[in-house]
Amino acid sequence: MEDRMEDRSDAARREEIPDELQARRETIFMIPAAPAIWAAHFLASYITAAIWCAKVAGRTGALDGARWLVAGYTGVALLAIAIVGIWGFRHHSYGDATVPHDFDTPADRHRFLGFSTLLLAALSFVAVLFVGMVVVFTETCR
């Protein structure tokens, strides 16, 4: 059994590796980029609404200005996450390393980084939409 695992592993290691990937320095920082944008969007929205209700509109006042600001943050955040997601999709589409991309080869690393980035971008995109939805329905500081 162990021998066969070894065989499989060796076969995978011998997969065709595009020359370009051999020399490439990959970055890990695209993986947390989309969740970081989600966190920044949440924080910015929360702080904006808190300051607006404490200093501008009052506890029962209207949220209008803050709603437009949060809508703006949401647009920017969604665009940024989409760019990160496209980057991830392109990385994942390149090469033919097989799932689950867990070998220590440049090809696997390349597809793994792209796939993780893409999935986290999808999650963050939905999360930012959910945060943004609040200002669609909430009109006042109450």
Partner 1 sequence: MAAPPDDTLAALLGESSVLAPAGRSAAAIAELSWWLFGGATLIWLVVIGLSIYAAYFGPRAHDEAKVRLLVVGGGAVIPTLVLAGVLAWGLWLMPQVKPPLPQGAVEIEVEGLQWWWRARYRAETGETAVPVANELALPVGRPAVLRLTSPDVIHSFWVPALAGKMDMIPGRETVIVLEPTRTGVFRGACAEYCGASHALMSFAVLVMEPAAWEAWLARQAAPAEPPASAAAQRGMAVFTEYGCGACHAIRGTEADGDVGPDLTHVGSRRTLAAGALPNTPDDYVRWISDVHEVKPDANMPPFGMLPEGDLAALALYLDGLT
Contact stretch for partner 1 (CB under 8 A) within 5-13, 17-25, 78-86, 131-139: 131-139
First to last CA, the chain: 65
Within 49-78, the residues that bind partner 1 by CB under 8 A are: 60
The count of other CB atoms within 10 Å of the CB of residue 132 is 19
Q: Which residue, 21 or 63, has its beta carbon nearer to partner 1?
A: 63
CA-CA distance, 60 to 81, in Å (whole number)?
A: 34
Residue 17 or 138: which CB sits closer to partner 1? 138
Q: Nearest-5° angle of CA 95, CA 97, CA 99? A: 130
CB of 71 to partner 1, least distance (A): 15
Q: Which residues bind partner 1 (CB under 8 A)?
A: 60, 126, 129-130, 133-134, 136-140, 142
